[in-house]
Structure 1
């Protein structure tokens, strides 16, 4: 079962990275198919418990990460990718993947900001944002534009994929 489920997970992650790289979007059809296959596999191996396993794994990242989406910090596609991973692998696996992905994403963002010489500017904006949110008791969308007025973003699917691979290795699933 491990090879089948890790194979499905790998295909979903590769498709997510490809579409995210090309369009800054992760296609819903890939995520829906991955979720349905994950639920089907879990039902086949766990019976009725497979439905609960998949449902809880699916809903967990949505509930946990919705605040970051509301602030504009995390994209809907990233949350849906975490939810698909949850439907395939369950809550515990997904929680570890989320932890690893956010650590990796933070390191990626730090490297990008240092390379583009934007670290001080972004940290200043962040602390100003926090100060205003506390003083005004209001949390508007977190938005930082580059010199052209475009939102500054990164492909978080890379961090999600790396976090998943790290946890698959740590979980004894591959290598």
Structure 2
């Protein structure tokens, strides 16, 4: 069964998705406002227990994503968005959504790697360098410009929310 705050989260995710695709950034007013809205919804609905539910969801979603941000895997807007998702869904569901997001992000990343082959030459060059070192040979390296291929993490978050709620409901 879906509650009002679930529908609010869907609206926020759709707005964040569109905004991130168009502007390549998730605005602070959206993430901060939605985090506050999630806390208020749970505070009104369940009192202190709802406040703790939202607070621990914020810590779980934002904390884990902060580690990903430290390794430059995601942007700061994604960290704040996951804190907001945590405020709405709580610890367990925000971790499920994060797990599905990482899986979808990995699938998208593999697709981009295979389709653009930007890092394939780096792997081949490292293998050639290892062979050169061990066999004391001089095989030529592959020269190619290194392009960094990035994609908005919202491409992974959006289907992750859908899949997570599908499993919650069914």
Q: Which residue of 1 aligns with 2:158?
A: 161
Q: CA deviation at 1:153?
A: 1.5
Which entry has the higher C-alpha Rg, 1 or 2? 2
Q: Which residue of 2 aligns with 1:38?
A: 38
Q: CA deviation at 1:61?
A: 2.3
Q: For the Cα contact (< 8 Å) 1:58–1:86, is it kept in 2?
A: yes
User: Does the residue aligned with 2:169 lie in a helix, a strand or coil?
Assistant: coil
Mean CA deviation greater in 91-100 or 151-160: 151-160
What are the within-5 Å matches in structure 2 for residues 136-151 of structure 1? 147=145, 151=148
RMSD: 2.5
* Ranges in structure 2 where 5+ consecutive residues have no aligned partner: 128-143
Q: CA deviation at 1:43?
A: 1.1
Q: CA deviation at 1:80?
A: 1.0
Q: How many residues align?
A: 154
Distance 1:89 1:81 in 2: 12
Q: CA deviation at 1:62?
A: 2.3
Distance 2:13 2:124 in 1: 34
What are the within-5 Å matches in structure 2 for residues 39-58 of structure 1? 39-58=39-58
What are the within-5 Å matches in structure 2 for residues 1-175 of structure 1? 2-121=2-121, 147=145, 151-172=148-169
Q: CA deviation at 1:152?
A: 3.0
Q: Which residue of 2 aligns with 1:139?
A: none
Q: CA deviation at 1:7?
A: 1.1
Distance 1:156 1:123 in 2: 24
Deviations 1:65-100 (A, max 9, x none): 222212222111111111100011100000000000
Q: For the Cα contact (< 8 Å) 1:42–1:50, is it kept in 2?
A: yes
TM (norm. structure 1) is: 0.78
TM superposition outliers: structure 1 runs of 4+ over 6 Å: none
Distance 1:71 1:151 in 2: 15
Distance 1:121 1:108 in 2: 19
Q: CA deviation at 1:45?
A: 1.6
Q: CA deviation at 1:123?
A: 5.3
